[in-house]
């Protein structure tokens, strides 16, 4: 089986939710049950890729069905049904790696933690130039890059929301920044250089619970011109510039008559889909994302 990790870069507020909740937030985002870490479920990733390729290709041909598998709603040209064969593509959840947080200096920082870095290293195993781990530590301090000059440091302090943290230069942070930005377009890298900040895991837990975007939304009753009864709700989103990491995996084609290697399956799933749309809120500018794949040396 071959794998291809990818960075999911939110370009607008990203709401991939779990339905309504009996809580302060009516429509929360999806999170890991055990940790509360924000994520985009693998089912959403695969669904978006499937719909994107269906639109790009114009139909659901044999290669498409080999990659994604057939569906009950649309049968293939050879009468495929969902019981004939499985799709060769496997999509994992895309888990938070770096959260954009308001900063007193530098406008915003991209904040991560040793735990998120360790998970990222596991997902990125086999990618050339993968930096080393960052050992867990306790706050209140933040690790920042030595070079390029960090954008969020003011008088040896980092100020994130209401947090006042001592800034400690660390070459490993610079290595992770360079490694990730090497996969961004050249013209955009300067926007993110020096913004990566590593805080302790406890502080990161506080941030991923409190630094997400909350929007109060309403629906107007056309007959009265006022808020419709019960149509006032709060919606949570991951803010623009959030970075998430996920992994696509693939086996050979299971469809009879279609000979596709695992590499061809991965190429076919991602071809021409750098920009993708998540959720049903495209008309109000939500869910616009970019997929930046990493190349793994060999298979896993």
pLDDT digits (tens, 9 = 90+) for 246-293: 999 998 888 888 888 999 999 999 999 999 998 777 788 889 999 999
Six-digit token string for 62: 């044999």
Strands (E), the chain: 2-10, 39-40, 89-91, 94-103, 107-112, 141-144, 153-154, 157-160, 163-169, 196-199, 213-220, 227-237, 243-250, 275-277, 288-293
Nearest to 192 by CA among 128, 134, 243, 141: 243
Alpha-carbon distance 210 to 236, whole Å? 10
User: Is pLDDT at 298 greater than 70 in this prediction?
Assistant: no
User: Is pLDDT at 148 greater than 80 in this prediction?
Assistant: no
**Burial profile 264-280: b = 16 or more Cβ within 10 angstroms, e = fewer:** bbbebbbeebeebebbe
Can you give the pLDDT at residue 79? 63
Q: 300 with 34: CB under 8 angstroms?
A: no
> Could you give the C-alpha distances from 45 to 49, 107, 199, in angstroms and in order?
6, 30, 28
Residues in the chain, total: 300
Can you give the pLDDT at residue 80? 61
The whole-number average pLDDT for the span 98-116 is 96
User: Is pLDDT at 74 greater than 80 in this prediction?
Assistant: no
252: preceding bond cis by omega (within 30 degrees): no
Can you give the pLDDT at residue 289? 96
Crossing angle for the helix pair 114-123 and 201-210, to the nearest 10 degrees = 90
Alpha-carbon distance 108 to 99, whole Å? 10
Residue percentage of the chain with pLDDT more than 90: 68
Q: Where are the domains of the chain?
A: 1-29+42-92+238-300, 99-211
Alpha-carbon distance 28 to 25, whole Å? 6
Lowest mean pLDDT among 67-71, 81-85, 202-206, 273-277: 81-85
Lowest mean pLDDT among 64-78, 86-100, 210-224: 64-78
Count of CB atoms situated within 10 Å of the CB of 120: 25
- pTM score of the predicted model: 0.90
| Helices marked H in 90-137 | 114-123
């Amino acid at each position: 089986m071959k794998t291809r990790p990818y960075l999911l870069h939110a370009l607008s507020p990203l709401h991939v939710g779990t339905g309504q909740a009996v809580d302060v937030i009516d429509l929360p985002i999806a999170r890991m049950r055990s940790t509360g870490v924000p994520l985009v479920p693998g089912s959403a990733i695969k669904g978006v890729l499937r719909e994107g390729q269906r639109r790009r290709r114009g139909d659901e041909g044999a290669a498409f069905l080999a990659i994604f598998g057939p569906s009950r709603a649309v049968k293939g040209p050879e009468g495929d049904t969902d019981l004939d064969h499985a799709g060769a593509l496997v999509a994992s959840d895309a888990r938070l790696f770096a959260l954009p947080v308001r900063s007193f200096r530098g406008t915003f920082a991209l904040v991560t933690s040793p735990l998120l870095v360790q998970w990222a290293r596991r997902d990125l195993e086999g990618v050339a130039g993968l930096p080393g781990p960052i050992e867990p530590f306790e706050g209140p301090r933040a690790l920042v890059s030595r070079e390029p000059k960090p954008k969020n440091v003011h008088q040896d302090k980092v100020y994130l929301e209401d947090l006042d943290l001592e800034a400690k230069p660390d070459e490993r942070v610079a290595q992770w920044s360079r490694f990730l930005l090497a996969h961004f377009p050249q013209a955009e890298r300067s926007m993110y250089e020096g913004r990566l900040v590593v805080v302790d895991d406890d502080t990161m837990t506080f941030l991923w619970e409190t630094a997400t975007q909350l929007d109060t939304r309403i629906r107007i009753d056309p007959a009265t011109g006022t808020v419709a009864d019960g149509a006032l709700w709060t919606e949570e989103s991951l803010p623009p510039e959030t970075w998430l990491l996920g992994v696509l995996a693939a086996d050979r084609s299971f469809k009879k008559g279609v000979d596709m290697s695992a590499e061809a399956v991965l190429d076919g799933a991602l071809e021409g889909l750098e920009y993708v749309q998540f959720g049903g809120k495209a008309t109000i500018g939500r869910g616009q994302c970019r997929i930046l794949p990493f190349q793994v040396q060999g298979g896993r």
